């Protein structure tokens, strides 16, 4: 049997450059991109919402569009690229329908005007795109500057019978558009099943969506329209701006998979309803980025920005390299470990370029050079098989092609990769003194004085340079920020990397544990008080640096050096509250564990009462700040002395031996809130009592981790953790002190 596809591809390969093929969400097939106008592709990308930062997941999606663009450019096709900026005109459909407006809330929370917020985040977005080498779109249209265009399309839709007005709102009449559902295959029958949406009585069909919404009394952000003052729905902005800059029908439209429905489905209904033509030929959607295995969400504390990577010493282009290693149609799990591997790989490529740039010119490159080139572009153009292109590049680097040919190929490949490889200089700027040391070293080596030569080399290394002996020549470059940082101290990316010592016999009476995240002065105050009030005791202090970036890590290194009983564990990013505390728990070697928060300070003899209370085997957790509840929903800080339902994380003491029984903390809690309650319930479940005594010698200072959040963030992050707690313990009222027949010692009831 003859395999037709293979023959066809072989012919292509002989025939020259292949053309880009992409998976089209509309046809569910991989298709060759055939521009409407030969030699020119018009492309639209759903851009950022500028009331918040674009995170690295968003950037992954924009990078996908960038690679499409670069691949077309490399085959000689011109690309006209439009990326909209969604400022206040945009609201998620559910927000439009409920009248909520995050942008306005955020502006108020930050004490800024809406325009200021949009400018601020748009500027950051432009800058971040540049930092990962995304070619700027030719046009970045802003939604609020296109309200008349949006109104015009709504009028067209009304005239064509695809929309109706009701009470100052205009809705799209979905049942009237026969093509509805062709992109997402979401035809609407079971659309709303399982989703509880407050039915809008003005809508004729539950699938109908808002094109224009009447302004409610008191709304500031609104525009005049034929239907009264109001504001546009979200989807209409993309129909308006795409048609204005790219025409009624254009080639490629990109976005993330979450845009397929309803955003792009509705965009098709609007544009095709209004213009009567096919809206877009190729719909391309990028899969999502996860972080540490979970969907990136602020409320999970795993949203990362380019700034976060830079703060940790990474080159933003390492993230670009990392994105090259996973196909755009696959979800990608971001970890700092994989980012580090990417930075190492990228540094290696740069080192090779640097090395090849030092070679003499070759007049002619060997014929295999063209074979490598052809295979590269064939691979990359096969539905953007960038991981394939990267691995081919590695094979090429390892091949026996001369360095000059490799350099030529790398320059060509980087038209697609966009890693600035050609910016690697042939010679780095190095101070005179360092060069002199190197020359001395070469001389010593010639005289076979290797030990002295090696000493000089180490000196140069410690001055922040990498020395490479390539054949007869020696080359030198400055260390990257990450190389410098990696030398400072080891860091873990996950609590799993730290083993448990819990099986071992205790070596101290007490283990203090602090999970530190920035606020170096608070950390200093807290650990100093731990030292001060355990002077004559057998105690150790374990501090987990949970991805600090403000100098806390440096402070802790010094602190550890000065004190034998201090151990510090660094995390290369914020691994979350429970995971950080679990590192401390697993490493603790004291009979009693005292977990503290950096906002708390010990001001007297804490250890005597801790020992006394915990020596009564029925007490699981003891601490100053007790909580009680009647219903698992409201927790009161009313327990001053006696049994409680939970002890707050500012200071909780328990026996190390109990940890084996109750287990470690639930690492689903990345944010600290409710974790202490959850852990207290783990103790209760094992039959332990929780005991509070507000007279313990502690002082609570400002809790900055909480203070720095705005109301929205507090709400969102707390809600998630509270849900986590309730799902686990909501049906265990038997664990409450009110149920156990133990009376409250003190306190009042709300
Ligand atoms: P938004 O600002 O939420 O409108 O998102 C901007 C772009 O990023 C859209 O194309 C989204 O589909 C895409 N996007 C959102 N979340 C992620 C994620 N976690 N990973 C990759 N792309 C995303
Ligand atoms: Zn859009």
Ligand 1 pocket check for 48: Cβ under 6 Å? yes
681: tokens are 């319930």
Ligand 1 pocket member 626 (CB < 6 A): no
Burial 510-548 (b: 16+ CB within 10 A, else e): bbbbbbbbbbbebbbbbbebbbebbeeeebbbbbbbbbb
Name the domain boundary from 488, 516, 534. Answer: 488
The finding on whether 49 has its CB within 6 A of some atom of ligand 1 is yes
Are 587 and 569 in contact, with CB atoms under 8 Å apart? yes
Please check whether residue 76 lies inside any domain of the structure. Answer: no
Q: Would you say 459 and 445 are in contact if contact means Cβ atoms under 8 Å apart?
A: no
- Per-residue pLDDT reduced to its tens digit, 636-656: 888 889 999 999 999 999 999
Q: Which of 54, 57, 63 to mutate to test the pocket of ligand 1 (most atoms within 8 A of CB)?
A: 57
- Greatest distance between any 2 Cα atoms in the chain: 93
Model confidence at 602, in pLDDT bands (50, 70, 90)? very high
* Ligand 1 atom closest to residue 52's alpha carbon, by position in its atom list: 2
Same domain, 401 and 448: no
Dihedral over Cα of 332, 338, 339, 341: its sign? negative
Q: Which of the listed residues 370, 400, 423 is the one where a domain comes to its end? A: 423
Averaged over 324-333, what is the pLDDT?
A: 98
- Nearest ligand, CA of residue 48? 1
504 in the same domain as 408: no
Q: Which atom number of ligand 1 is nearest to the Cα of residue 258? A: 12
Nearest-angstrom CA–CA distance, 49 and 85 = 6
Whether residue 13 has pLDDT greater than 90: no
Cβ(566) – ligand 1 distance below 6 Å: no
CA of 269 to the centre of ligand 2 (A): 13
E-only strand ranges, 59-108? 78-83
Ligand 1 center–CA 90 separation, angstroms: 15
Torsion of CA 719, 720, 724, 730, to 10 degrees: 20
118 lines ligand 1 (CB under 6 A): no
323: CA distance to ligand 2 center in Å? Answer: 23
Do 618 and 513 fall into the same domain? Answer: yes
Please report, rounded to a whole number, the percentage of residues in the chain having pLDDT higher than 90: 74
Q: Within this chain, do residues 445 and 583 fall inside the same structural domain, yes or no?
A: no
Band the pLDDT of 7: cuts 50, 70, 90.
very low
pLDDT band at 244 (very low <50, low <70, confident <90, very high): very high
Half-sphere exposure of 86 (CA within 13 A, CB side): 23
Rg, Å, the chain Cα set: 31
The answer to whether position 463 is within a domain reads yes
pTM here is 0.84
User: Which residue among 47, 61, 184 is best mutated to probe the pocket of ligand 1, counting the most ligand atoms within 8 A of its Cβ?
Assistant: 61
Cα(294) to ligand 1 centroid in Å equals 15
Specify if 498 maps to a domain: yes
Q: What is the per-residue pLDDT for 748?
A: 33
Domain final position from 375, 396, 423: 423
* Residue range 686-698, pLDDT digits in tens: 999 999 999 999 9
Using the predicted structure, report yes or no on whether residue 90 has a pLDDT greater than 80. Answer: no
419 and 406 together in one domain: yes
Q: Whose CA is nearest to atom 11 of ligand 1?
A: 256
Strands 289-291 and 280-286, how do they pair?
unpaired
Question: Which ligand 1 atom minimizes the distance to the CA of 60?
Answer: 21
Total domain count, the chain: 3
Report the pLDDT averaged over residues 720-727: 93
pLDDT score for 220: 76
Query: Residue 638 belongs to a domain with what CATH number?
Result: 3.90.550.10
Q: Which residue has the higher pLDDT, 750 or 398?
A: 398
Measured in angstroms, how far is the CA atom of residue 48 from the centroid of ligand 1?
Answer: 8
Distance from the CA of 598 to the center of ligand 1, in angstroms?
Answer: 35
> Does residue 539 form part of some domain?
yes
**Cα 64 to Cα 382: distance, rounded to the nearest angstrom:** 14
Q: Which of 6-15, 119-128, 317-326 has the lowest mean pLDDT?
A: 6-15
Q: State which ligand 1 atom lies nearest to the alpha carbon of 45.
A: 10
> pLDDT tens across 145-195, in order?
999 999 999 999 999 999 999 999 999 999 999 999 999 998 865 454 344
Residue 244 belongs to a domain: no
The 10s digit of each residue's pLDDT in 517-539 is 999 999 999 999 999 999 999 99
- Same structural domain for residues 634 and 609? yes
Q: Which atom of ligand 1 is nearest to the CA of 287?
A: 21
Minimum-distance ligand 1 atom for the alpha carbon of 295: 19
Structure tokens at 451: 């030990």
What is the per-residue pLDDT for 300? Answer: 77
Task: Quote the ligand 1 centre to 239 CA distance (angstroms).
Answer: 19
Q: What number is the average pLDDT over the span 402-415?
A: 97
Same domain, 451 and 597: no
| Nearest protein Cα to ligand 1, atom 14 | 58
Q: Which ligand is nearest to the CA of 323?
A: 1
Asked if the structure places residue 184 within a domain, the reply is no
- Find the ligand nearest to 52 CA: 1
Pocket test for ligand 1, best of 58, 262, 295 (most atoms within 8 A of CB): 58
For position 372, which CATH number holds? 1.20.120.1910
List, for residues 17-63, the tens digit of each pLDDT value: 679 999 999 999 999 999 999 999 999 999 999 888 999 999 999 99
Q: Where are the alpha helices (DSSP H) in 281-335?
A: 306-311, 316-324
Per-residue pLDDT band at 557 (split at 50, 70, 90): very high
Closest-approaching ligand to the CA atom of 254: 1
Cβ 255 under 6 angstroms from ligand 1:
yes
Classify residue 705: in a domain, yes or no.
yes
CB 57 less than 6 A from any atom of ligand 1? yes
Which H/E stretch holds residue 592? strand 590-596
Token pair for 387: 């991981």
The predicted model gives 611-616 an average pLDDT of 94
Task: Report the C-alpha gap between 359 and 664 in whole angstroms.
Answer: 57
Ligand 1 atom nearest 49 alpha carbon: 2
pLDDT of residue 740: 58
Whether 605 and 623 share a structural domain: yes
Q: For the segment 652-678, what is each residue's pLDDT rounded down to a tens digit?
A: 999 999 999 999 999 999 999 999 999
Whether residues 586 and 678 fall in one domain: yes
Q: Which ligand is nearest to the CA of 285?
A: 1
CA distance 320 to 301: 22
Q: Rounded to an integer, what distance in angstroms lies between the CA atom of residue 158 and that of residue 273?
A: 10
How far is Cα 699 from Cα 606, in angstroms, rounded to an integer? 12
Report whether pLDDT(94) > 90: no
Mean pLDDT for 238-255 is: 98
For residue 450, the Cα-to-chain-centroid distance in whole angstroms is 48
pLDDT for residue 3 is more than 50 = no
Q: Exposure pattern of 614-647 as b/e (b: 16+ CB <10 Å)?
A: beeeebbbbbbbbbbbbebeebbebbbbbbbbbb
CA–CA distance, 592 with 525 (Å, rounded to integer): 22
**How much distance in Å is there from the Cα of 263 to the middle of ligand 1?**
12
Could you list the residue range(s) of the whole structural domain that residue 449 is in?
432-488
**Range of 273-287, 288-302, 705-719 with top mean pLDDT:** 273-287
Rounded distance, CA 501 to CA 657, Å? 12
Atom of ligand 1 lying closest to residue 255 CA: 10
Of 188, 157, 184, 189, the C-alpha closest to 173 is: 157
Atom of ligand 1 nearest to the CA of 46: 10
The rounded distance, in Å, linking the Cα atoms of 745 and 58 is 53
* Residues 478 and 498 grouped into a single domain: no
Looking at the fold, whether 476 and 386 belong to one and the same domain comes out as no
**CA 236 to centroid of ligand 2, rounded, Å:** 8
Give the pLDDT confidence of 96-126 residue by residue, as tens digits.
444 445 656 666 676 777 788 889 999 999 9
Is residue 545 a part of any domain in this protein?
A: yes
Please tell me whether residues 629 and 575 are part of one structural domain.
yes
Token duo for residue 322: 């990392």
């Amino acid at each position: 049997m003859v395999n037709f596809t293979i023959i066809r591809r072989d012919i292509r390969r002989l025939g020259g450059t292949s053309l880009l093929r992409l998976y089209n969400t509309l046809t569910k097939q991989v298709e060759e991109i055939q521009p409407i106008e030969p030699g020119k592709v018009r492309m639209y990308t759903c851009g950022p919402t500028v009331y918040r930062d674009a995170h690295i997941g968003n950037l992954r999606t924009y990078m996908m569009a960038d690679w499409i663009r670069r691949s077309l450019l490399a085959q000689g096709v011109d690309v006209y690229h439009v990326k909209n900026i969604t400022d206040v005109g945009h609201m998620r459909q559910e927000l439009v329908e409920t009248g909520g407006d995050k942008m306005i809330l955020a502006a108020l929370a930050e004490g800024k005007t809406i325009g200021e917020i949009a400018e601020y985040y748009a500027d950051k977005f432009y800058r971040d795109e540049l930092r990962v080498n995304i070619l700027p779109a030719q046009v970045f249209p802003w939604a609020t500057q296109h309200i008349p265009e949006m109104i015009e399309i709504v009028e067209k839709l009304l005239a064509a019978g695809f929309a109706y007005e009701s009470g100052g709102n205009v809705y799209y009449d979905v049942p009237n558009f026969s093509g509805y559902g062709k992109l997402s295959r979401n035809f609407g029958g079971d659309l709303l099943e399982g989703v509880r949406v407050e039915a809008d009585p003005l809508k004729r069909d539950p699938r109908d969506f808002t094109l224009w919404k009447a302004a409610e009394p008191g709304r500031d952000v609104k525009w005049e329209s034929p239907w009264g003052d109001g504001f546009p729905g979200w989807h209409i902005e993309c129909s308006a701006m795409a048609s204005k800059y790219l025409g009624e029908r254009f080639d490629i439209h990109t976005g993330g998979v979450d845009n397929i429905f309803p955003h792009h489905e509705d965009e098709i209904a609007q544009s095709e309803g209004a213009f009567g033509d096919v809206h877009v030929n190729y719909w391309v959607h990028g899969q999502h980025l996860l972080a540490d295995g979970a969907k990136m969400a602020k409320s999970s504390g795993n949203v990362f920005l380019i700034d976060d990577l830079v703060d940790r010493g990474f080159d933003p282009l390492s993230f670009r390299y990392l994105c090259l290693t996973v196909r755009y149609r696959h979800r990608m799990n971001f970890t700092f470990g994989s980012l580090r591997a990417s930075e190492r790989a990228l540094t290696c490529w740069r080192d090779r370029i640097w090395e090849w740039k030092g070679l003499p010119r070759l007049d002619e490159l060997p014929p295999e050079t063209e074979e490598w080139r052809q295979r590269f572009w064939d691979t990359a153009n096969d539905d953007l098989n960038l991981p394939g292109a990267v691995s081919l590049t590695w094979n090429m680097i390892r091949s026996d092609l001369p360095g000059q040919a490799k350099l030529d190929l790398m320059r060509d490949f980087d038209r697609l990769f966009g890693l600035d490889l050609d910016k690697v200089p042939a010679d780095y700027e190095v101070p005179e003194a360092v060069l002199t040391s190197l020359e001395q070293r070469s001389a010593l080596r010639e005289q076979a004085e290797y030990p002295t030569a090696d000493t000089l080399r180490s000196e140069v290394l410690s001055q922040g340079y990498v020395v490479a002996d390539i054949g007869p020549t020696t080359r030198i470059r400055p260390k990257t920020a990450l190389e410098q940082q990696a030398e400072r101290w080891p860091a873990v990316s996950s609590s799993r990397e730290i083993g448990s010592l819990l099986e071992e016999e205790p070596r101290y009476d007490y283990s203090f544990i602090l999970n530190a995240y920035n606020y170096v002065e608070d950390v200093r105050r807290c650990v100093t008080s731990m030292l001060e009030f355990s002077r004559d005791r057998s105690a150790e202090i374990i501090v987990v640096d949970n991805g600090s970036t403000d100098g806390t890590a440096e402070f802790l290194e010094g602190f550890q050096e000065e004190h034998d009983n201090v151990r510090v564990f660094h995390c290369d990013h914020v691994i979350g509250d429970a995971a950080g505390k679990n590192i401390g728990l697993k490493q603790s070697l004291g009979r009693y564990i005292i977990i503290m928060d950096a906002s708390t300070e010990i001001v007297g003899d804490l250890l005597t009462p801790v020992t006394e209370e915990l020596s009564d085997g029925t007490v699981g957790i003891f601490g100053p700040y007790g909580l009680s509840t009647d219903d698992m929903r409201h927790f009161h800080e009313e327990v001053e002395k006696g049994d409680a339902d939970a002890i707050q994380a500012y200071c909780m003491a328990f026996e190390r031996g109990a940890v084996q029984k109750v287990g470690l903390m639930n690492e689903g809690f990345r944010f600290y809130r409710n974790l202490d309650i959850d852990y207290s319930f783990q103790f209760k479940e094992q039959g332990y009592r929780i005991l509070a005594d507000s007279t313990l010698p502690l002082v609570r200072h400002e809790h900055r981790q909480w203070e720095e959040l705005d109301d929205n963030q507090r709400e969102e992050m707390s809600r998630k953790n509270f849900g986590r707690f309730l799902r686990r313990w909501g049906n265990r009222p038997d664990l409450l002190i009110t149920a156990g027949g133990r009376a409250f010692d003190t306190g009042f009831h709300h």
